[in-house]
Structure 1
Amino acid sequence: SDPWCILVAGAGTEKVNGRYEREGEAVRNGGRVFKGPNGFGLSFECVSGGEGWILGKSPRAFYANQTKDKVPPEEDWMAQEHGKQPVPSFHIIEPYMEVEARKNSGNEAFKAGDLESAIAKYTDALGVANTCDGAHGIDDDLLGKIHGNRAECCLQLGQYEKCIADADLALEYDPCFVKGYVRKAKACTALEDHATAEKCLRDAIDVAPNNKEVLSLQDEYRVLSLARDGNDTVLSELSGLCSRLSSLLKRKGTALEVIAIFKQLPTLLTALKLVQDVGNVGDRGYESAPNYDAQVYFRMQTNNFALLAPLIRPLE
């Protein structure tokens, strides 16, 4: 393919790596001239009576297999730096296929539970992508997925700052990458940055309003947020819910409106349970069923729809 990406592994070879493209219509010894990064070039040369493709820049050159073929090979070369040993590993690759292969290798390591190895392989894939920046197929979608996968590995290893950094990069490449928001939210929660975690979930809801994982996490974080605020906040929320239910009854609201309000009950009651200390919240006593006096019941009958909802309230 043209252009292609060249990777050379060996001491001092890093600057050689990158994309090589035709240098206009330039021809040398009957072969095209290709220009790469950092002043390196690829051309057909006649050296000491031999012919072949040479990669490098004066006075250093990496010799390819000697050949009379004026078309540069697109498979692995047997190459060595002039007059030096050991022989470096020299590869001409198709960038997208190489990055995809290394990403898939990371995925396999992740599935096997080898998170450290998965991170190394994802990092390797990103390194090749960076070397071959702009090559066909290496797009934002691919890079976003690799960063997102590495973020998940970091999250599971407790490397929360690294997880957040990768999640941010994934979201830069793809602002609609829901898993990026979720992973960042979890890492922020672990670091007790609750405000950022909740914002991540709001952003995720904007992108995917029906995503079950996001909705579940949002409910969970809502419970934790209420619990952190204390029992007075929870009871205030419950009181507000009661008022809305009362209003709904007076104006004969629809069944869907009733359902919408009652969907909030599990969150509030779970939060209330979290702030209780074996039946006590602060210095106020609470009881639950079957004590009728300790409950407030709302029986809703609208459009042939009936609900019986117990709400725990303080004992007088």
Structure 2
Amino acid sequence: MEIPEFVQIKEVGPRDGLQNEMNIAPTEQKIGWIDLLSETGLSYIEITSFVAPKWIPQLADALEVSRKIKRKDTVTYAALVPNRKGLENALLANIDEVSIFMSASEAHNQKNINKSIADTFPILQEVAEDASKEGKTTRAYVSTVFGCPYEGEVQIDAVLHICDKLFAMGVDEISLGDTIGIAHPKQVDFVLDEVTKRFNKDRIALHFHDTRGMALANILVALKKGYTIFDSSLGGLGGCPYALGASGNVATDDLVYMLERMGIRTGIDGRMLAEAADYIQKQMGIPLSSKQMAIHEKKEGRRVN
């Protein structure tokens, strides 16, 4: 099997994980968790979102969290930014990378951003251009690439058109999202074949949710096609507030286990990762869904099924 020697894992738990939890984690707990994540060997952590607190109250303390974490030079600290106002706050927080977002389906874009796809582009272009002027890199999330909870199938031409527009406005990397966890290996194979014809693999990441337990299988397809950047959330924490029933991202700890067992380097210390997972599970008071955490809990005698 032709597979990469190294994969970069981008941890999105502090943002994508916490934003969909009913319980709002105290600021100090978020800071403590991010500081633990920074010690695991991760090179990228998306720590928060500068979306208006009325939309995502779980991350209303974005500026305070960003300012108080213990930063490491080896880690890129990113945050989600919806518009120029959000960018102003992200710059005050000295975020390393700005993450912008939109959907590949019109209905989901309207639900998520309250704008049409056409009306979203100028807003994102302003953010990307202004971020670049400030010396920040920009990453774009494209949601519902593999299916929409409102429209169903999403045409690949729509996805490619959006990616063309995003790269044209200066985005450095695009993360293709399976927002509701509907993708399967054959579909991923087709989509990535089309994406590969058009774009450099080094500028494309994959963002799989594990709603139907298919995320690792889909990642394996991407690995075999030479893709090496994957988003994940420690313990499988999170979901999508605008996609009912969608579970969290593929679990970072499960992904690291699979990759390392396959001989693919990640640079991540599994023991430190388990410590960070244990910390946030105890702080949030909810069992994390990853297989690695279930095994850990059973060994510790804390989980019986």
TM over 0.5: no
Which structure is higher in RCO with an 8 Å CA cutoff and minimum separation 6?
Answer: 2
TM-score in terms of structure 2 length: 0.23
TM-score in terms of structure 1 length: 0.23
- Which of 1 and 2 has greater Rg? 1
